[in-house]
Structures are given as structure tokens and as C-alpha cells.
Structure 1
Amino acid sequence: MKIRRILATAVAAAVTTPALLLSVTPAFADEKPAAQTQDKPSIAELEKAAAAAQTAYDDAVAAESAAEAALEATDLDTFPLRIAAEAAKKVATEAAAAKTAADQAVVDAQAAIDALPETATEEEKTAAATKLAEAQTAAAAAGEAKTAAEAKATEAGTALDDERVNLARKIGTAQKAVKQALADKNAADAALAKAVEEEAEEGEGDDDDCVPEAKLTTVVTGLPSTVVAGTKVNFKLRVTNGTDKTMDEVLPFAYIHATDESGLKDIDKLVHLQWSNGSSSKWQTVDNEHYMDAISPLKAHAHADIKMRLAIDASAPAGNGVTFVAGDYFNDNGSCGGSPDLEGYEFLIAAAGSKPGKVDDAKPSTNKPNTSGVKPQSGASARPVTGSLAATGSSSATSQLALASGAAVAIGAGALFVVRRRKVGSDA
């Protein structure tokens, strides 16, 4: 979402260069500069591109089907090359039989000569010799015919095999074309869907019902102030509704940022924030783009606990990190709001293999909220997080509240809610 991406960048900048962030704060309250929109395709253009991609995909699928059908046709008795191959094979078989018969005639003629009695006349001897010579000539001719027929049969069979190989290659090429066309189609569809979603957000009007709610608090406990690279640490995020009214849906939000010791090199890719609800042992990654699953509902003066885990790659250098947390709520009547400030819990990253010993828990960078008098959601224990968001990750209102609280620590709650009302249109 637009505002979420803008303010995610703002939070990261605030950790390393807060002066820079403050210097560009006014930009968040303005409409998107023309330089950022001049190359952005229109909905109509994206629809045309999506339609073209669909057509290309359909054509590729049709080409693949045609290639498969062509290969299957070579197995039919009516296929010309198969007809030719079968005919040549039949001729070769007949020629082989004729050669066998001719060879046997030679053998029989020679046997007749060998069987002539001593009393045989010259006329009988001449006749037998003539018959042998004729048989030998016929056998030689039959051998040549057999050789020629076999050559033609081989040629016809090779032609059929070559055609099948060629068609099989065409199927392979067609399959690759289908795969590429599908990827192009999915990309075009995704671009169109994103543009339509963003246009809808821009047309929804101001969210005047969304207000800062200081009594919706998020507190981290158990996160060490020093974490060694190559290890994982578990901690807890408690979301508390300190108001007198039930919040129909509360969305916990978390953001993590880390740098090396100089503060100049971003190492976010080596630091992983994960969460799990109370009913599952499966860990899910917090990717700085989506909320965690909704708490639906969170009753007045109740809290819910979320299991969290911080994992740092062994290749991460020594450095500094911060975990930001916040919460937003949305009611069935359309009202909404969120934490006016983002709680930031700073920690040190120790190089892999370090032994920091016993360390204190990370402390919040803002004033710790007063949660006295707050009771668990049900019974003696906190209510586990349940439910899930839509596939898009959040609603339009959600996108306006999410990282908006995330940047509050740097630019202030007042400017933040101006941002939400003005509905910034940047794609940053």
C-alpha cells in the first residue's frame, strides 16, 4: 500500500538519519510530484496490456495443443509418412522372402546336378547346368532388390522418426512459450489489480473517523537488549485495549530495522522478525508490508499476547537494531483509529560467537503506557491472536493507519494524522 511503503521508508531513515527525515517531512503532506507520475501507466493502458497478455497466453496454449495433436497424429494409420513407412516395410519384407526363395532355387539346382547319374546324357547335364545358372542369376537379382527395398524402408522409417522428433521439439518450445506467456499475463494482471486498488484508495475520501487512540497500547517484553548473530530469541508482544469500549478488530503491527555499527549500512535482510498465534507452533515472518492476524474482537480493558521471535543470520555484522510496534483498530460501524506513536525497542547486535552474558531487556523509546487495571481478554490468560486478513494484506483503511503510526516516532503524531487525511499518493 502507498502510505505503508512511504512510512516504512521513513521509519528506516529515522533510525539512521533523523535530521534527514525531518527535513523532508513536508513532502508527506503534499500530493505526489508530477515527476513521479508522468511515466505511470493509466488504468486503460494497463487493461489493454492485460488483455494483450491474455491473448498471447491463449495463443500459446492453442499452439501447444496443436503441437501435441500433430504428434499424436503420427500414430494414426492415415498419417502419410506412416503409410509410406509401412508400404516400404512391406516391400522390403516381400523382397526378403523372394531372396530366400531364389537362394533355395540355387541350392536345389546344385543338388540336381550333384544327383545326375554317371549315365546322364550331355543333354541332361547341359539342362541342369543351365537351370543352376538361371537360379544363380535370379538369386543375385533378388539380393539387389532386397537391398534396395531395405534401404527404402530404412529411409521411410527415418523420415517418420525425424518428424516425430521435430514435433516433440515443437511441443517443448510451445510449453516454454506457455510458461513465459503465463508469467507475463500474471504480471500484467497484478499490475492492473494494484492500479485499480490504488485508484480506489485515492477515491475513498478522507478518513475523518480514524483518530489517534493513546489507550490502544503495544508493549514488548522479553526482548534482550543484546542479541548475538546466528541466534534466535523469543519474546512477547502485548496489545491492550485500555478504553471502555470493545474494538471489533485490532491489527497488531511490527517493523524491524537494523544497521551495522556505523549506522550507514542497512542489514535488514539479515534480521528476521517472526510471530505466531497462540493456537499454532508455526512461525510467520513479519515482512514490513503486512499486519499480523487480527484480534477480533478485543474487549474493553482486555489484552492479547502474541508470541514473537527475532532471528539474526550468523553472517550479520555487529550493529544496532530496533523493533517498532503499534496497533490499529477498526469497528463494524466504520470508526477506526490507532496508536498515535510507535514504540521502538532498541537492541545491539553482537557478532556471531559473542558471549554477552546476562543482559537486560530492551526498553521502549517512548513513555511506557500505563496498563494498570487492564485484565486479560478471557479468564486469567491473554487471548491468543486468531483470524486472518484478506489476501491483499489489509483494507484500504488499514493501509492508511499501518506505517503511519510507524513514522510517528520521528515526525510526530500531529503530522502523521495530517498524512492520513491528505491520503498521500506516492508510490515510494
Structure 2
Amino acid sequence: MRRRLLHAAAAVAAVTAPALLLASAPALADTLAAPADTAGMQTYAELEQAAADAAQAYEEAVASQKALLDELKALEEDTHPLKAAVLSAQQAVLDAAEEKATADKAVEDARTRLEEAADDAAKAEAQKALDEAEAAAATAAGKKDAADAALEAAQEALTEARIKTARDYELGKKPEEAARQAKEQTAAALAERRECARLTGLTTLAEGLPSRINAGTTTDFTVHIVNGTARTLTVDPLFLITLRATAERDHMKVQWSYGSGWTELDRGNRLETISPVKPGDRRDVKIRLTVDDEATTGAEGIALLAADASDAYNPCLLGPMKSYAFKVAAAGTDTGGVDDAEPGDVPDEDRPRPGDEQPDTSTQGDRETPVDTEGDLAETGASSALRPLALTSLAAAALGTGAVIAVRRRRTSAN
């Protein structure tokens, strides 16, 4: 599962309530199914191998059937060795028949001369010629018999080859069909396993993110990622944090820390994949928001937090996403008594997931304009799926305007 920084450029509108209204992608299901029980289940690697083996077996079955069909056709060609042997034997029979006919005619002529011989000397000479002609005729007859036998053997070999090849071809149809079905079934099972599944027990919650942040200050908070499942997971945190207004985005810097040091959430950086995360484990990621003193008082911000994961059985497991809204307060404002931002739930159908792709648009009223893809939406994480993670349907209702901003990250190279 490849880690990936998701740095998109569109603004995500802030909301007045904890719940975030996201624009849903019509191609997505309304809800994510829970992963199947792993008892007795093949691992994903085993299923991949089974699908590859089934595909290879089908290719071999198809190739075998094609070879048999090609052989059937070739057996009818004069250039095939068996067919060529028949043709040669047929010509040999014709030659032997002609030779025998010539020899038989010579015998008849010799007998006629013997009958017409007038004296003993002539009769003796004619008898000798007849004996020689009969011997030659016997030899020619033997050649003819041998040629006939050779032709019969050649024809039998050709016929047997035709029958065997045709039989093998017919017998190969069922295995080929079985191989095709196995290929389709394992491919379907693999495709189904690749579908993202909802992992309710993989939770992501922020602690210490205030609902109001003073301009000119730095605020640290913690994101707790808890594996409340019975699975050992490889986790890719998915964090999206930004100020709403385009003009405000440059006034907030977002950094993360997991272990030691701080890394800015900017293009080219990634939050580390966390693995293994065993059942019951909690991993904490530190987030630092630095709002400069030029940020506008009342500027609205939003944080979307989730965890994608994978394990030995599923390449794409998606934990529930939480949304947090916060505002920028004037520099020097008393921060005493400021409550933490409350989490809101993001519906399954609106949650970004692997393979999503939507046009970049920002719609207000009836006007639709492209989203600035060079903005400053700070995002971290990568899908645990084999496919690339493209962010889609990230939107919020702007205060009193009905404006909707859709955010999409273009598909990048597959894992």
C-alpha cells in the first residue's frame, strides 16, 4: 500500500455545524459494505495468485484447442506429412499398376510368339522369353501389392490422425469452458475483494483542535488513530486541512509529526504509513497549525480526518471520516474557555475513496468555474488500495449562499 501526499488546490468551504455536507459522486454506492469475515478466507495474495493461475490455465486451454483446430485444418493440406505420404503412396500405386500392366502385356506377347513358333529352336527361344516375361510380371505384381499396402497404411494413418485430433478437440471443449468459468469466477472474486470496505472500528479523532485559532499563533493538536478491529492493519492517514477562502489559504501553514521532527504538508511530502497497527493499538499523529497575523478575522477553516488501511485480506479498508470546523480570531483575542472543535460525521457516499475522479469545478448559483489547482489544501495520506487515491466530492455549504465547491485530485500513478 503506497503512501501518498494528497495536495489539492481547491478551497473547501467551512460549515456552521460539525456535520459537513459533501457533494456525492453518482458512481459511488450510498454506503460502504463491511469487510467479510476472514475465517477460512483466502488472503488477497492467495486470491491474486489463484486468479493469475486461472487466467494462465484458460490461456493454455485456449492455446491447446487452437493448436488442435489448426492441426485438423493442416491435415487437409497437401503439405502435411501424413497427407503428403498418402499422395506419394497413391502415385506409387499408379506407377506400380502401369509397370504391372506393361509386364502382363509382355507375358501375353511372349505366349503368342511361343504358339506361332515353327520349329524347336524357335519354340525354345520363345519359351525362354515367356519365362523371363512371367518373372518380370511376378515382380511387377509384387510391387503393385506392396504399393497398395503402403497406400492403405498411409490412408489409415491419416484417418486415425484426423479422428484422434477431432476427438481431442471435442474432448477439450469442456475443460476449456471450465477454465473460462474458473478464470471469470476468480477474476470476479478478485474484483470484489478490491472494492473498498468500511472498517467502522478504525477511528480517527482530533484532540485539542480549538474551534477558534488566533491570528499570529501556532496551535498543536493530536490526531488519535485507533484500531478497534480484530485485524492487524497497515494504515495510511488521510488528513485534509485548509482555510476556506482562496485569499486566506497562504496564511496558514500545516505541519505533521509522527515520532520526531516536523514536516510541512506541502506538495511532495507524505505522512508516513503506519504498520503494523495491531488490534487495540492507538497511534498518535501531531498536527501543528500556524496562522500568520495577516489572516482575516473570521476566516473559516475545515479539517477532514480519516484513515485508510489494508491487511492481508483486503487492499482497501476505509475508516469513517470526521470533519471539524474552526475559525480565525483576531490576534490577541482571549482564548480562555475556547471549546475544542466538535467532530461531524461524513457519510459513506461522500467519503473520498480510491479510483474516484470528478471534474474540478467551483459552482456558485448558476455559474461554474474551474477550481484553482495550485491552491493550498494541505492533505496527507494515501489509499491502502492497489489503485491510486483521487479525492472527490469534497465540498461544503457556504454560509447562506448555497455555494458548493467540489474538490478532486487528479489520478496519479497506480501502486
**Greater helix share, 1 or 2?**
1
Normalising by structure 1, report the TM-score: 0.40
Greater relative contact order, per chain length (Cα 8 Å cut-off, separation 6+): 2
- Structure label with greater radius of gyration: 2
